[in-house]
Structure 1
Amino acid sequence: MTITGVRTRLWRSGVLEKEDFPFADISDYVCQDDCLVWIGLRSPDAEVLNGLAEELSLDPLAVEDAIAHRERPKASHYDSHTFLSAYALELDHETSELKQTQVSAFVLPHAMVSVHTEDWFDIDAVLRRWDQDSELIKLGSKTLAYHLLDYLVDGHFDVIQSLDDEIEALEDVLFDDSPNAAQKNHLQRRTFALRKALVQARRVILPMREVLNTMVRRDSVMPEPLRPYFEDLYDHVLRASEWTESLRDMISSVFETNLSLADARLNTIMKKLTSWAAIIAIPTAVTGFYGQNVPYPGFGQHWGFATSSAIMVGLVVSLYVLFKKKEWL
């Protein structure tokens, strides 16, 4: 009987023997010491997962975590298996929206069950890694878990690199001498979108340190030849975490700098408006004074008009030169 969304593989002594064999044959292979079985479930229904859990003695709490949404990345050891929960990430470069899907795995002595829900998660890429590393397959189910986690961490790095590039691209717009309204609006929206994506990525990347630490430090049955691979992956996770922290500082700096530049531009505009208002006030004051209905020096004389004009021009030019020196204009 073929069940939708279920894929299977069988290795015997490290050599791939069968693929997509009947679901009912799983129990016949997992009890054999020279066999290694992978069962891949995509959006499994409760009947399939519960049936498999009963057949392989999977812990009910772990089964519940595998199908629950928004579980925190973690690694838990049970009597018969180790349960892993992590996230695959993908960044939409057009909208800066971060897609994420939970990927869970039950690691048994001679089998691994993986569970994911989204179609965009490329499980075939994980299978290709298994095919390319047939020597490690001989070490058992921990090898399958290693390549799955390694693929997820590589995806984290791709997302972080994309976020880094996007944040650097914001600097070109941020320090534009004369940004228009559309550029300002784009910068604000892009900054907010990247900040949101970074927060979401940080929530699933930072806990990966605990996942790998549990696998490396607390797994007493870890094959020794495989331990250096997990330790190297742990170093990658630490680097991804540190990179995420630095990006958080960068996006915060961009956000704060944008506010500071907006204030600076506003101050510049206010200085210009104030300067021009002061310049315009001079002729207004002079013409207002000479427009009084009382006699004044030069009243009704040509030299009086010339004097008032000279006063206006002189004071206006003086203020203009003064404001230019102070870079207010």
Structure 2
Amino acid sequence: MTGTETPRGAAEEWSADTPALRPRPAGPRPAGPPRTTPPRAEGVGPVVDCGIYVAGRREEASHPHDALAEATARGGFVWLGLYAPTEVELGAIAERYGLHPLAVEDAVYAHQRPKLERYDDGLFMVLKTATYVEHDQLTATSEVVDTGEVMVFLGSNYVITVRHGEHGGLTDLRHTMESQPDLLCLGPAAVLYAVADHVVDAFVDVASAVEEDVDELEAAVFSDRRSDDIGRLYQLKRELMSLRRAVSPLEVPLQKLSERQIDVVPEAMRSYFRDVEDHAIRVRDQVSGLDELLTSILQASLARTSQADNEDMRKISAWAGIIAVPTAIAGIYGMNFEFMPELKWRYGYFMVLLVILSVCVALYRGFKRNGWL
């Protein structure tokens, strides 16, 4: 790494909020809400897979704890995959690989934002994963986007992936990488690239699926059928925010990997990270566009609801005006005065009915012509 070296015990954090590196002091973190370790089935260890890669080819390690020494002796690197390790489990691995305590704490408790940090001669990267939750019908409580996390510890001769969440498995990715020895020959940074590319590709799929939900809601809002879509729109907007929080902060870490000179990232890998950055920017723009479209649809839905309420009020007012005519006439001739005109007239009853009917028909035609009925 070029530039001023970071003292041991401090870390330089690369995030979307800070365009440059900034030191983060060592020591205990401020007290916050209690955090729990993600649950894991009883009897299942944290190690998902462990392999040694020499000249792009996999060689089995005798034991995960001895993999680093074996990889160093063979001139390769070790790829250790973990799932939701506890503090004790990851602490034992951290001692053998020399992982920084702050990075270990982040990897154990998760709930981190996407970022890239440099600890001494290694890197620690956090990526948010996302998957689309299938549903028969979108409701005001539907879960649309489920997120998890993948942390990557990167050194000169090791890469450790730590996964949290029920999705985002890396087994298929490992098999794909093992079929590309030319890429694995570039070292541990190739694994970091593959993980980042895998995560961003998942973002593309999720964004495309969410876009279909947005199109469905848009069609429902502008259809002739009256429905209450406010709750569904707001829920989808909230779910889209989860995807946006996973995608947007990832741009700066990928930019650093593609532009900065980093010891553990060969120069040949920069173009790969630049490609992932381009994909991430496109997804970010797509998510931003969907969010703006949802805002417009929400405003249109509110306007249509208000318009429908106004139409209902006009109809009620029109019918109230029509009913007021017979009510008024009946009220006048129901006052029981002895001396009232036309009371003794033979055809008075029929004349009153004719007047009421004529006035009501005239009012109805007038309201209908003006669009009130």
TM-score (norm 2): 0.81
Q: Does 1:138 align with 2:185?
A: yes
Distance, in Å, in 1 between the alignment partners of 2:197 and 2:364 is 66
Matched, 1:322 2:369: no
Aligned pairs for 1:267-282 (under 5 A) are 267-282=310-325
- Matched letter for residue 210 of structure 2: L
Q: Is it true that 1:107 corresponds to 2:154 in the alignment? A: yes
Distance between the aligned counterparts of 2:75 and 2:181, measured in 1?
14
Distance in 2, Cα, partners of 1:21 & 1:324: 87
Q: Does 1:69 align with 2:110?
A: yes
Q: Which residue of 2 aligns with 1:165?
A: 212
Query: Which of 190, 201, 218 is matched with 2:232 structurally?
Result: 190
| Deviation string, structure 1 residues 165-216 (Cα, Å, up to 9, x no partner) | 111111232123233xxx52xx344223212211111112110112211211
Q: Name whichever of 205-214 and 140-149 sits farther off.
A: 205-214
Counterpart CA distance in 2 for 1:280 and 1:307 is: 18
Give the Cα separation in 2 of the matches to 1:51 and 1:80.
Answer: 20
Equivalent positions of 1:12-31 (< 5 A) are 12-18=54-60, 21-31=62-72
Q: Structure 2, unaligned stretches of length 5 or more?
A: 1-42, 136-141
> Equivalent of 2:336, from 293, 305, 312?
293
Q: Distance in 1 between matches of 2:195 and 2:72?
A: 23
User: Are positions 1:81 and 2:122 aligned together?
Assistant: yes
Number of the residue aligned with 1:313: 357
For residues 62-81 of structure 1, the C-alpha deviation after alignment (integer angstroms, 9 at most, x for no partner) is 11111123111101122221
Which residue of the partner structure matches residue 94 of structure 2? 53
Q: Which residue number in structure 1 is paired with residue 50 of structure 2?
A: 8
Q: Does 1:201 align with 2:248?
A: no
Unaligned stretches of 5+ residues in structure 1: none
- C-alpha contact (below 8 Å) 1:297/1:304 kept by paired residues: no
Once the 2 structures are TM-superposed, how far is the Cα of residue 51 of structure 1 from its aligned partner? 2.1
Question: What is the rounded CA distance, in whole Å, between the counterparts of 2:220 and 2:202 in structure 1?
Answer: 28
Q: Distance in 2 between matches of 1:323 and 1:150?
A: 63
Distance (Å, rounded) in 1 between the aligned partners of 2:231 and 2:180: 44
Contact 2:128–2:149 (CA under 8 A) maintained in structure 1: yes
- Alignment match of 2:257 (pick from 198, 205, 215): 215
User: Given that residues 153 and 236 in structure 1 are in contact (C-alpha distance below 8 angstroms), is that contact kept between their aligned partners in structure 2?
Assistant: yes
Matched, 1:255 2:302: no
Q: Equivalents in 2 of 1:198, 1:302: separation in Å? A: 76
SS in 1 for 2:347: helix
Worse-superposed segment, 102-111 or 297-306: 297-306
Deviations along 1:25-80, whole A, 9 cap, x unmatched?
22323424731210011122223312222222211111111112311110112222
Give distance in 1, aligned partners of 2:234 and 2:166. Answer: 28
Pairwise CA RMSD:
2.0
Name the SS for the 1:302 alignment partner. Answer: coil
What is the Cα deviation at residue 21 of structure 1?
4.0
Distance 1:229 1:302, change over 3 A: farther
CA distance in 2, matches of 1:198, 1:170: 14
Which amino acid counterpart does residue 108 of structure 2 have in structure 1?
I
Q: Please give the per-residue CA displacement for 1:100-145, whole angstroms capped at 9, x wherever unaligned.
A: 1111001111210010133433221221331242211111111100
* Structure 2 counterpart SS, 1:190: helix
Tell me the distance in 2 between the aligned counterparts of 1:235 and 1:198.
20
| CA distance in structure 2 between the aligned counterparts of 1:178 and 1:157, rounded to whole angstroms | 32
- Residue 174 of structure 1: aligned partner: 221
Aligned-partner SS, 1:220: coil
Instruction: State whether residues 3 and 23 of structure 1, in contact with CA within 8 Å, keep that contact through their aligned partners in structure 2.
Output: no
Secondary structure of the residue aligned to 2:244 is helix
Q: Once the 2 structures are TM-superposed, how far is the Cα of residue 285 of structure 1 from its aligned partner? A: 1.2
Change (3 A) 1:119 1:293: closer
Q: Name the CA distance, whole Å, in 2 between partners of 1:37 and 1:150.
A: 20
Which residue of 155, 172, 182 maps to 2:202? 155
Aligned pair count reads: 322
Q: Look up the equivalent residue of 1:291 and give its one-letter code.
A: G
Cα 1:26–1:192 change in 2 (3 A) is same
Query: Judging changes above 3 Å, is the alpha-carbon distance between structure 1 residues 56 and 238 closer, same or farther for their aligned structure 2 residues?
Result: same
Q: Deviations over 1:227-247 (max 9, x none)?
A: 221111101111111111111
Q: CA deviation at 1:226?
A: 2.1
- The answer to which structure, 1 or 2, has the higher relative contact order (CA under 8 A, 6+ apart) is 2
